[in-house]
A = this chain, B = another copy of it.
Amino acid sequence: MSGIIINPLRSEWPELIKRPQISSKDLDATILEIINTVKESGDEAVKEYSRKFHDFAPENLWVTEDEIASSVKKIDKDLKKAILVAKRNIEKFHKRQVEKVKKIETLKGIVCWRKSVPVEKVGLYVPGGSAPLFSTLLMLAIPAKIAGCNTITVTTPANKSGDVDVAILFVANILGLKNIYKGGGAQAIAALAYGTQTVEKVDKIFGPGNQYVTCAKKLINIDGVAIDMLAGPSELAVYADDTCVPEFVAADLLSQAEHGPDSQVVLVAVKEQIIDKVIQQIDAQLPLLPRAEIVEKSLLNRRFLVIENEDQAFDFLNAYAPEHLIIASENAEPLSERVRNAGSVFLGNFSPESAGDYASGTNHSLPTNGLAKTFSGVSVDSFVKKITFQKIDNKGIKNIGKTVETMAAAEGLSAHKNAVSIRLKKIRDGKI
């Protein structure tokens, strides 16, 4: 491995923060056709595409209650225990995101507040493919349940026998999820967005997926259906100083790289020797990994940089705006104050990204591709709207009346002014 970049000029940063390009424009026409076919033919189209693209053809597109119930017996005991620990932590962290109603009297007689009201119908896409991502179901369904969404529809590809993975069913079981649809890919997104004979159209669609799923989410979003975000390939940036443990840094970079050949890892170290040590460790650990081939491809996208100046190092990281950021330093907590753009930040030598991916409590659905500059990861917020309310009494309207009349008049909106004047007059006339 080579290609260490030493103290790059700021003018070189725009090139260095670019993500590996994946062309998706060519997909639009193909995916649009899938969407339109599902719009027309509904479940039959989903079945047909599942046969064609995913090699499964379930008779029944819905998981039965029995299948969900029996997962409790079928699941591996250790995995069961692990999932329950993860559920508990994720619930504990996300429950604190619920915003309580705070009534604020802005002026005597004027009380304003904001109330979180659940998005009524949500659809959760859980990728299957090479491995069924039951952890994604935990990360999406727990905040949806806490938010209080009325209808939660899960869609996930089945395996070749037409069954959904037992761990996904177990998660559904412990979270009380009843609607599990056997559909993967763009066709499943279309089914959630527009409804089918058996799928109820949802208000908002969540969940990661491959480029086909992402393209479908993009297209239905342009058509007015809400989505969580457009997930790109996963990313990790690590900041490492002299107090890091190169062995751990290497393991963290490799864990990110195994996601897929288009994943990206970035390492910003304050000294070249640190990178040398990390590379030694990568070379030692990589051959032992079952997904070494994917990791090697992904490492072609790596950026290993030495940035000696701490300010500049964090400026660079903020410009990159990583999905995941590990601060591999014993000094991580004060350093974390410098983070302005990131999805989720891991502090110190004992906070591997994989803890957050699965079980520490934070959400793993995070903004990629620089979106962390403006987007947050999935949280309870993603499953609610915050509706504002105000209650003004006759004293309140007297207190604010003149202000509103004056401003409305200045904006040339006489009817806005009149809506206040007519009330003030009625009060003045003692008619109310």
Taking Cβ atoms with an 8 Å cutoff, the residues of A that contact B are: 76, 78-79, 81-83, 85-86, 88-89, 92-93, 96-97, 99, 102, 104, 106-107, 110, 112, 114, 117-120, 130-135, 167, 203-204, 222, 226, 245, 247-248, 251-252, 254-255, 257-259, 285, 288-291, 295, 332-333, 336, 339-363, 367, 371-377, 379, 381, 384-394, 396-397, 400, 402-404, 406-408, 410-420, 422-423, 426, 432
Contacts and interface: CB of A to CB of B under 8 A. Distances in A.
A389 B377 CA distance: 12
7 contacts: A117-B339, A167-B410, A203-B374, A255-B416, A344-B389, A360-B390, A381-B386
Given A417-B354, A419-B251, A348 B426 contact: no
B92 A106 contact: yes
Contacts of A387: 339, 342-345, 372, 376
A422 B392 contact: no
B251 A400 contact: no
A32 to B, nearest CB: 14
Contacts of A79: 406-407, 410
B85 A403 contact: yes
B419 A379 contact: no
A102 B349 CA distance: 22
Contact of A374 (B119, B247, B413): B119
Given A82-B406, A135-B411, A360-B110, A289 B89 contact: no
Contacts of A112: 93, 360-362
A131 B416 CA distance: 14
A252 B419 contact: yes
Nearest to A372: B385
A233 B134 CA distance: 42
Nearest to A99: B99
Nearest to A92: B106
A345 B426 contact: no
Given A347-B389, A388-B345, A411-B131, A359 B419 contact: no
Contact of A226 (B104, B288, B374): B374
Contacts of A374: 119, 203-204, 226, 385
A23 B83 CA distance: 50
A237 to B, nearest CB: 13
A251 B422 contact: yes
B410 A76 contact: yes
Question: Can you list the 8 inter-chain pairs with the closest CB atoms, starting with the nearest?
Answer: A106-B361, A226-B374, A82-B406, A131-B412, A354-B416, A352-B419, A89-B106, A347-B391
Residue picked from A251, A258, A375, A385, most chain B C-beta under 10 Å: A385
Contacts of A257: 415
A99 B114 CA distance: 13
A285 B418 CA distance: 9
B413 A388 contact: no
A104 B96 contact: yes
Contacts of A393: 348, 350
